[in-house]
A = this chain, B = another copy of it.
Amino acid sequence: MVAEDEGLVVTYVLKGDPGGCAARARLLAIEQTAEVSPSLCAGAFFEDRVLGRVESIAPVGTDRCEVVIRFPADVVGTDFGQLFSVVFGNVSLWDGVRVAAVRPTPGLAARLGGPRFGIEGVRARLGVPERPLLMSAVKPLGRSPSELAAFAYDLARGGIDLVKDDHGITDQVFAPFEARVEAVSAAVARANGETGRRCLYCPTVTGPVDRIVDRARFARGAGAGAVLLSPMVVGPDFLRVVAREADLPVIAHPALTGAFFAHDDHGIALPALLGTLMRLAGADLVVFPGWGGRFPFTREGCQAVDRALKEDLGGVRSAFPVPAGGLSLDHVPDLRKVFGRDVVFLIGSALYERSPDLAANAAFFLSLVETRPA
């Protein structure tokens, strides 16, 4: 039995004047729970157990309000589809509703769980306790398993900590899933044998929804050290289920997420989606575009994601921010100033382009984080 004050506390910004927002807030608290006319959910039982409760309404300028609503834990449940649906499902179809922040109460946070490994758990697997971590990708789509394995070998030999598949490399004819995972896992293991390091190979397990858990288990059996999936492509609840079933760290890729934070007045704010929600759902590492790369992200937006992945959240483990998206090696010093030591730098194309010697390029990348920051 869940204490009745346990739940999910969501801060919305609604368009409207204060009177209009008060009415909209009340309707939102019903829309996301009982989803009926108010006359059909009247009374103490619904007020106490089922409906969202409007906890506060504060004007923001003249034409919008910040509204805090607490949803009962029994309504939210513990699968992340239902959690996303309570937070934004039906009201995604309204105008002018933006999720600014999401906070679980302590009891709900404990039930949800969050990252299985978190920052410290991933560091322990790698044996790298302090410096920023390095990630790169085997790519592009179109290469064969042996070509990808050769890249992975060089990346691991040069000192990359986490070698992932590109998120769009799933099970295409160019590099079928099982053949690729076996070849790349073996290549990374061979490199680790030579270097004494513990580079982790992180295959993409995004795919048919009835194969994803099997793919994650296969990856673990083949020697993978983590897995990557795109939560909004396959369903956010797969983070939780894959982490549990494969007992491996999971990396969340941001494919499709941009639709949620493209609009200033609607959607789910960047740090709430790629920070708090991905972390609560179980991501140990969250990939997002860093500023200065090929995506239009700002330094301030990235700082907000970083905070959301690391701030106190009722005992939920912290997750690694993984700035990415067309970053170059020149960006590393500046990124380091913002994210501090608990960050994973993901550089793909720029590492392949620096020189024909991919292992040397990886070693140069490593040298950038082995020294203390200037």
Contact = CB atoms under 8 A, between A and B. Distances in A.
A36, A50, A88, A348, most chain B CB atoms within 10 A: A36
A366 interface: no
Given A88-B259, A140-B34, A207 B79 contact: yes
B36 A94 contact: no
Interface string A14-25: 000000000000
A371 interface: no
Contacts of A35: 139-141, 166-168, 348
Contacts of A27: 294
B141 A92 contact: no
A81, A263, A297, most chain B CB atoms within 10 A: A81
Interface string A161-186: 00000111011111000000000000
Contacts of A232: 232
A276 interface: no
A254 interface: yes
B233 A93 contact: no
A91, A142, A206, most chain B CB atoms within 10 A: A142
B241 A74 contact: no
Contacts of A81: 206-209, 230, 233-234
A168 B267 contact: no
Interface stretch (A39-47, A127-135, A338-346): A39-47
Interface string A333-374: 000000000000000111011000000000000000000000
Interface in A187-243: 206-210, 212-213, 230, 232-235, 237-238, 241
A79, A85, A93, most chain B CB atoms within 10 A: A93
A95 interface: yes
Contact of A141 (B33, B39, B139, B140): B33
A245 interface: yes
A216 to B, nearest CB: 11
Interface residues of A, number: 82
B139 A93 contact: no
Given A141-B34, A208-B241, A167 B230 contact: no
A71 to B, nearest CB: 11
A373 B365 CA distance: 71
Interface in A281-338: 289, 294-297, 325
Interface in A244-288: 245, 254-260, 262-263, 266-268
A82 interface: yes
A126 interface: no
B75 A141 contact: yes
A119 interface: no
B230 A89 contact: yes
A234 B84 CA distance: 10
A37, A95, A353, most chain B CB atoms within 10 A: A37
A353 B256 CA distance: 39
A81 B235 CA distance: 9
B50 A142 contact: yes
A140, A212, A259, most chain B CB atoms within 10 A: A259
Interface string A109-138: 000000000000000000000000000000
12 contacts: A49-B174, A74-B174, A81-B206, A81-B230, A81-B234, A82-B168, A88-B256, A92-B262, A210-B213, A259-B260, A262-B263, A262-B266
